[in-house]
Amino acid sequence: MNFDFALILVVATGLCGAVWLLDRVWLAPQRRQRLETAQAQAGGNLPQETVEQLNREPGWVDTGKSMFPVLAVVLVLRSFLIEPFQIPSGSMLPTLNIGDFILVNKYHYGIRLPVSNTKIIPINDPKRGDIAVFRYPQDPSVNYIKRVVGLPGDRIRYMDKTLYINGEAQPQQLVAQLPPAEPQQLLLNETLGGVKHRIYQDLFRPRIDGEVEVPEGHYFVMGDNRDNSNDSRMWGFVPDELLVGKAFAVWVYWPERFSIPDFSEARFIQ
């Protein structure tokens, strides 16, 4: 089951905010009135224990008021600034490892409302070579991460494990054969839109050839692990309204729940 954490966070923040407002405009004045009445009846001298009892907030009020500022800060940070994600698969190897925790700039592609993801303030459009997080078009409750390859209007062709954009083959240079003795995989440098990064090619996986034109308002994305990636070659384009943000850093490597987090792997990515 996929939980919509954004929706849960919005609802929780709203409920705690309602409790804070209810206390401010109604419950707190009632407590003050009761205290003033009791003090008047006692001639102004009340035991400290009685004063504390009359001023005491109900448990649900205290909890709601305490949680509200925390939830509000988390909501703002997560919805509009930076959100952490964990890499669950090897589709972005060698750039991103399974277990990497990444940071995503949520406002880079525009300010969007939480839950609905509606863009209210446009800022930047995705650029070729960006590592983008987006909602999977076939199941928007799931987040995917891939590299932006094709922009609106681009003609994308993938043939013989070579990427062509508008008829031009994208530069690739061999870095290593893995393993060296009986290579199963190639490690290559590739440059997209001025962004230099590394990709894997699996020598024994079938080719995924095809040619498409990217429609307006959509993007063509691929994994850096080219022969082991479920991407636009299989399910099509990413519409702009499903973009979540641009990944810009790995802050910790934590492959298993009971393993020791490795902060030495922190780095900026491109």
Which residue type is seen at 238? V
Q: Mutual orientation of helices 48-55 and 28-41 as an angle, nearest 10°?
A: 150
- DSSP 3-state of 32: helix
Determine which one of 65, 79, 91, 106 is catalytic: 91
DSSP 35: H
Q: Is 146 a catalytic residue?
A: yes
Across 97-110, b (16+ Cβ under 10 Å) vs e yields eebbbbbbbbbbbb
Using the Cα atoms of residue 198, residue 183, residue 158 and residue 171 in order, give the sign of their dihedral: positive
- DSSP 3-state of 174: strand
The residue count for the chain = 270
Determine which one of 106, 146, 161, 246 is catalytic: 146
Q: Is 161 a catalytic residue?
A: no
Do residues 87 and 97 lie in contact, with contact meaning Cβ atoms separated by under 8 Å? yes
Angle at 239 between CA 238 and CA 241, to 5 degrees: 125
Burial of 123 (0-12, 13-18, 19+ CB in 10 A): exposed
Report the chain's C-alpha Rg in angstroms.
26
Which distant-in-sequence residues (6+ apart) come within 8 Å of 185 by Cβ? 177, 178, 200, 201, 202, 203
DSSP 1: -
Q: Which residues are catalytic?
A: 91, 146
